[in-house]
Structures are given as structure tokens and as C-alpha cells.
Structure 1
Amino acid sequence: MTITKRDTDAMRALRGLGDDSSSVRLRAALELGTTPDPRFVETLVERCGIEPELYVREMLTWALTRHPVSVTLPRLVQEVRSEHAQARSQALHTLSKIGDRRAWPAVTRSLLSDADPEVARSAWRAAVVLVPESEKPALASALSAHLGRGERETQLSLSRALVALGEVIVPALRTATVRDPRVRVHALATQRLLSDPDSGFECAIEEAKRVVALGGSVPGGE
């Protein structure tokens, strides 16, 4: 079998993904995305699960989006079930970038509730991209169950995901558990971001805290 220059370059790039230098790994991912080949997909997906640098992972994701969906989608759906948190998170992130709604069933309730906050955030982002229109109310309800979870980054991510669903989230916010002031604050802040996206999360949270301190609740609630 004749080995072409492209084959030689591809093998060099594949080896580069494991180099100690992050800049070499970045160039390797760029090259593998520039000249996509289905043979690269397995290695790219595996590397996503262990790559320590965020900007290299982003390039790996870009490289995967350059490959045929018929090849990447089944492998990524398999990867979201990995026992390794980074592998699950990055696979979900890549699925959201590909945007093919055939991946929707892979975004399970267990992923939306994953104990690892980065996995959960990736699942929320992927869910709002992939969800069919008919499933949006159920997704809004599932996401609203996590109101009040985590620190600022996690709460902001959840609010953004909910707001991305649009007005369909209003009933879910109204019926969210509001006995916990932390949940009430987050629900109110999300409602504010829905009605005024330019208000900013910090301002929305501070306003929500003032409302809760005065005995208020989610607009439209009891």
C-alpha cells in the first residue's frame, strides 16, 4: 500500500496530540480538523477526555465538528456515558457545537443532574441546543429542579440555559420549590434575565435578594 504525504502528515499530527507542549497539541488538532479524515475521530474523542488545556480542547472540538456527523455522533453519544467526568463534559460540549438533534436522547436526566458541576453545565448547554420544541416544557421543569445549585458559575450557567428556552420556563419558575430562599433568589434572578437580558446576572441576583428579604417570591407565584 502506498503511503501518501497526507497520510504521513496525519500520522505526525496524531502523534502531536500527545506531545508535552500544548502549542504542539494545538497545531496538531488544527491540522486534523483542516484535513478531516474519519480515521481521526476515535483519537480526537479520546484526547478530549484527557487534554488538560481548555484552548486545546476547544480546538479538538472544532476538529471533530469538521468530520462527518455520521461518524462523530455515535462515538460522542457513547462518550457521554464514560466514567470520566471530563470525557462526559467534553462530549456533551461537542454535541452542542455539532447541533444535530438526533443526539437529544443522549442528554439524559442523570447527565442533567450529574454530580460533577462541569458535566452538569455542559449537559444544560447541550440540552437547550438539542431539545425538540415539544420537549421544551419538560426540559424547563427538569432544569428548574437545579435552581439554587452550586456557586455563581453554576447558577449563571443554569440561568442562561433556562433563558435560552424562552417563555416556556415561566411555569417552571412559578412552580419551583421556593421554601428555600436560595432557590427563590435564583428563580427570581432568572425571571429578571428572561424579561431583561441586558440587566446582567449580578444585578439580577442582588435585586432578587432584596425582593426575597422583603418576602417576595417568583412573579406569578403564590
Structure 2
Amino acid sequence: MLRIDDLVVRYGAVEAVNEVSLTVAPGELVALLGANGAGKTTLLRTVSGLVPANTGAITFEGIDLRATKAEAIAAAGIAHVPEGRRIFGGLSVEENLILGATTRGRDADLDEGFARVYELFPVLQERRNQGGWSLSGGQQQMLAIGRALMSRPRLLMLDEPSLGLAPILVRQVLDAVRSICDGGTAMLLVEQNARAALRIADRAVVLDRGRVAREGAADELADDQQMRALYLGA
């Protein structure tokens, strides 16, 4: 579904992403792991068309994303939930969700979208008329994911969805992420909590200073002693 080949992204003289290649298959959840500054966020932003690549190729279902504008990439079926949630605090929960469906045009079935989001996150239905500003951090993250789902993406990219959340909410949010994938949506997940990410992922790719350092099945990496020492704190 998504194919990245020898991708290089520079900020001036700094190579944030250095000859990275990876794939995401339909219905697959791939975790993108690594320390801060490894290039994970830059990679997602490049796929979304927000940051230009210097060299390499990015294709999504045969579409050349390097030659496609950001709004057309979203319309093609890729949704990106950035780090920091970025909901519209002055709008209600439901108004935020409606904005997520804009890439589908005027014929979007909002009721179907609402039903899917509220099934995943019942608290959003309870608070659908409340302002986004009034939600807790965990609820705002649920809203950010729900807003992305309103576009009915075939690939959902999440950047640090567990950041700043209490442990019980981390599990709740990541379990919902796994459920979304099980429903048929492919996912590329950037997550600082490597242990939690490997618990739900099918495969993982580890970046180190912009390069692919490790990759493989999530359960194999979770059991790998070097991986545990470097990223899992054990």
C-alpha cells in the first residue's frame, strides 16, 4: 500500500532522514520507533506532503506522493494525526469531527462516521456538544484520532498518540488503534513508548539518526536482547 524507497530529507546540511526504505501493507500496523531526533516525525510529514523530500520515492497505491500536494494526498486516503493533537478547542467535539470529513466532499455520510468514532470512544458521544478545550488530554487524543477517521482513510499515520497520557489511558488509546487496524485500516505508528507499540504492532522499523537500524516482526523485536537494552529499558 505504502512504499518508501531510499528516502532522503534534509534540513539545510542536516540529514533528518537518510536513505530510509519501508513498506506498509493493507491492513498492517507498522510501528516506527527510535530516540528523539531519529527522523520519525519528519518521515510522517514527508509522506503527508508537508515536508519536501530531497531524493527517493514515496508511492501510495501506485500514486507518486512526491508529485502530489498535501491536500490531494489527504483526499487519496491518507490521514495524519500529528503530535500534540491540534484539535480546535473553540469548536465542539462534533464540530471537530465534521471537519475531519471535509476531504470526502458534500456527500460524506456523517452519521456513519459518527457511529464508528463513538463506538471506539464512547466518551466522545457523551461530550459531543462540549467544547474541545474542555476535554482531558486523553479525550483530546481520542478526538484527534476520531477526526482523522471521519475521512475514512485507508492509511492512518499517528505521531506519538500516547504522549503525556496516564498509563491507563495509554492502553485504552493504543487498544483502540489496534482495533482500527483490525477493521481494515493500515497504520504507521510513531510511538516513544516502544514496549506499548510492540504489543499492538505487526512489524516495527527502528530509526537511528535518520537511518533504519532494525526492522522485523514486532514480537521478535520485543524479545530481542539488544532491542530490549536500547529501547525497552530491560
Larger radius of gyration: 1
Q: Which has the higher contact order (CA 8 A, sep 6+)?
A: 2
- TM-score w.r.t. structure 1 length? 0.30
Bigger strand share: 2
